[in-house]
Structure 1
């Protein structure tokens, strides 16, 4: 007993002389309080399901009015959303497709992703916060007015077990674009060109069908709805591709970039042309047209500058 008492005394003296006492106390505190970690829930997502994270602008009607967005569609504001979507895709290589329209964006993670150990809270907060901060950081590049207050986006995670479920989800979002844009186009033409009040325009459109709105736009404003820019009518699809100059070029020599497209997601042809989305994911080939979309051009320019810097 005397031996152990002496040993304990010696240890205390040594600790005090080499300043180990604070360390001992910290370790004891950690072990005492770390039980609170047991309250964290295990929120790992089920394996082998499509993970879709959709973000939506919070009170964006007020935000767009405060920043004087062009009605019914502001090209720069839409490209600002697309730029933020590209920033998220660059960070998460496991996103195989992103789809954006108006003030929302959907990000599709491949089924076998292991990002953040498939923890729902981690994935959701990272994507939402990165999109929000990228939106703010990219604002000066696209908008000619100052940001008067910070935008806010909320987010949700939805899981789809089959390829068909995923395709139906994306078809639903694109159908939503058509319905909303057709209404908004007709509404703002009545307000801005015909001089109707908002209430009068709503009453004029109440109970009308798509055919009625199309007919009104053509007869009263000379607008063929199908000739409007496809980004307004179909939204924007972001896909990771190898960009080449011509069809005969070797895909492996192309520059990898995230390509914005405005295609029809609902038709079978889209999925036949981009088979990599649902199969083993390897970026497909994209033949660059003579007129390169500005968002793609910016990425290719960034890659070119990076290569030059590396060579020098």
Structure 2
């Protein structure tokens, strides 16, 4: 049973046992997959009947509201329209359900407007917030939501990444990288991946000049999520090395890398711990250069 099948079971159990939360945040790496899961969840909340299914597909269910936009932001007016609809009593079902796609697009004004609604929602109202970048969402909204991670289906995650090579696509897929972020980086993703491999190779091989590589890595990054993506790439390389060391060949995000590391299992495990610590520090706004330098130095014990 895969991760998303387990998610389905947990969501259905919440419905069947009367344990629905007011707010869910579906987070993942492909908005198309999140959309399908939200519609699956909404249908089962409203009642999985032929009529409800037909009304949902047609976009005509009176107890269901789906908010999305092709614009770069979701404004306060759109949220206020949603709130007005949600204050009406359900007519076809026991519940009212609304979905906001790409929640990270909400302007600060829209987010604050929705926060007031989330604090005192009408009874029998369920919110499903979809995001592929939760880092910019207000902590107060995070605290009111039940978080559900949904891994993007492979075809959803990779369909807009035709500009990548097969080996690069393998890295994106095996490391479950955020496809939307990779697409945004465009050709810079290839550069970042290549430099991450060069750095990781030197780090794993105990190269004396590994610290010098860090500046070249960071020069490609422009925002915090770029640094976090970089650490995912480094983590993947070190983890692949660890798998090779213990005789496994089941994890290979870098298919062009064949050499066996000189470090042993204990040292590589320590390196993974330091990558996780660097990730934590960057999320707390520590200077990325200091976080990566500390990662390398601390791994040497």
Quickly name the TM-score band, shorter chain normalised.
under 0.3
Larger radius of gyration: 1
TM-score by length of 2: 0.21
Scaled by the length of structure 1, the TM-score of the pair is 0.20
- Higher relative strand content: 1
